[in-house]
Amino acid sequence: MLLLAVSIVASLSIGSAGISFADVWGILLHQLPWLSDQGHGWSQGEVAVVTQVRLSRVLLAVLVGACLALAGAGFQGVLRNPLADPYTLGVASGSSVGAAFIILFGLQFAIGIWTIPLVAFLTGITALLAVIALSRSRGVMGIETLILSGVIIQAFLGAFVSLMVSMSQGVINQILFWIMGSLALRSWSHVYMVLPFLAIGLPVLFFYSQSLNLLVLGERHAANLGVRVEKTKLVVLIFSTLLTAAAVSVSGVIGFVGLVIPHLIRLLLGPDYRLLIPLSAIGGGIFMLWADTLARTALSPKELPLGVITALVGAPVFAWMLNRRMRGERGDGQ
């Protein structure tokens, strides 16, 4: 939590407009009503950069990161598969189809700035419903059929995206750039769109964290201890999907966060979902914030795709931690 606060402060102060650290804080503090009437030495433009551009983007990065890491923990808990991530069951592919379609036909502003987020959100959810329908028989969802159905839907929808990319030369970059993920040119309204999903999704998943712990022992063990296995699986899947779809619809497909952050927390603190759920959200927020800060400053003023940064930075860190952990375990055994 403390690390998250420090990261937000630091990231706010870094940027291409070259506003000093002290001024950033002066501007922010002056937004508080009881401090607003003192004299100051910064311009209206600087105020706008900090409050309209940077602050909303920083908060959005934290929210998107938290949603993805939280959803990743949820998917890994239900699917009991270390390779599961928020995109395993086809949510991202569904969203990509929707977004690619909109971009291809130039409908980005058909119903205002909400067009892409709304369509991407709906098509993402639809993809998951298709996966669940495919894998449910007699009210029971088998884990293997669930993952296989996800792979099938993903491949099918992926082909659609490729088709749309190939159909139009002119907008290829736009579609690809959306798919690679970015937080550029987002506003406060995007923050408000993601926030309610996190505010509801986090407590719901936390409510099921002890059930997810018992699921680690296997579905039968959990059922015998009084867990309602099918209900737990369905609710956690649905809320993880809502979190994923919300994040993807505003930021595009940012990989790696949802896969790796829950694993990092597990490596550091063990497998207890009562810790894993809240700390994945915080860890995902911090990680995404720094990735986005790097994305907008590394080759400033050019923006880098966020999905590229998360994988480029995240993969080596994860490999290093995994390696250190394995050495530690060998040491324990002796």
Q: CB-wise, 266 or 296, nearer to other proteins?
A: 266
Question: Considering the complex, what minimum distance in angstroms separates the CB of residue 71 from other proteins?
Answer: 21
For residue 238, give the 3-state DSSP assignment.
helix
- Complex with other proteins: residue 104 or 214, whichever CB lies closer: 214
- DSSP character for 33? G
Which of residues 160 and 206 has its CB atom nearest to other proteins in the complex? 206
When the beta carbons of 45 and 203 are compared against other proteins, the nearer one is 203
Q: At what angle do helices 273-297 and 209-216 cross, to 10 degrees?
A: 100
Contacts with other proteins: how many residues (CB under 8 A)?
23
Torsions phi, psi of 239, nearest 5?
-70, -35
Nearest to 289 by CA among 249, 263, 251: 251
The residue behind tokens 């922010």 is 28
**333 binding other proteins? (CB under 8 A):** yes
CB of 329 to other proteins, least distance (A): 9
Q: Tell me which residues in 235-294 interact with other proteins (CB under 8 A).
A: 266, 270-272, 274
For residues 23 and 272, which CB has a smaller minimum distance to other proteins in the complex? 272
**Which of positions 193-222 make contact with other proteins (CB under 8 A)?**
207, 209-210, 213-214, 216-218, 220-221
Q: How far is the CB of 279 from other proteins (least distance, A)?
A: 16
Q: For 289-295, which contacts have Cβ atoms below 8 Å and span 24 or more sequence positions?
A: 289/4, 289/7, 289/8, 289/11, 289/58, 289/61, 289/62, 289/65, 290/7, 290/11, 291/61, 291/65, 291/257, 292/11, 292/57, 292/58, 292/61, 292/183, 293/11, 293/14, 293/61, 295/182, 295/183
CB of 226 to other proteins, least distance (A): 3
Task: Between 142 and 218, name the residue whose CB sits nearer to other proteins.
Answer: 218
Q: Write down the least CB distance from residue 85 to other proteins, Å.
A: 19
Provide the β-strand partners of residue 112: 110
Is residue 78 a contact residue for other proteins (CB under 8 A)?
no
Rg of the chain in Å (alpha carbons): 21
Write down the least CB distance from residue 140 to other proteins, Å. Answer: 11
Determine contact, residues 240/70, Cβ cutoff 8 Å.
Answer: yes
Helices and strands in the chain, H and E counts: 15, 3
Q: Tokens standing for 213?
A: 């712990």
CB nearer other proteins, residue 39 or residue 270: 270
- Burial (CB count <10 Å: 0-12, 13-18, 19+), residue 65: buried
Q: Exactly one of 50, 227, 247, 248 binds other proteins (CB under 8 A); which one? A: 227
Region 16-75 residues binding other proteins, contact defined as CB under 8 A: none
Give the residue among 247, 313, 253 at the shortest CA–CA distance from 285: 247
Residue 236 Cβ, how far from other proteins at the closest point, in Å? 15
- The answer to whether 174 contacts other proteins (rule: CB under 8 A) is no
Residues in a beta bridge with 136: 141
User: From the CB of 217, what's the least distance to other proteins, in Å?
Assistant: 6
From the list 257, 272, 262, the residue with the least C-alpha distance to 309 is: 257
Cβ nearer to other proteins, comparing 104 with 236: 236
Considering beta carbons, is residue 79 or 193 the nearer one to other proteins?
A: 79
Residue 228 CB, shortest distance to other proteins, in Å, is 6
Question: Under the rule (CB under 8 A), what is the footprint of other proteins?
Answer: 207, 209-210, 213-214, 216-218, 220-221, 223-228, 266, 270-272, 274, 332-333
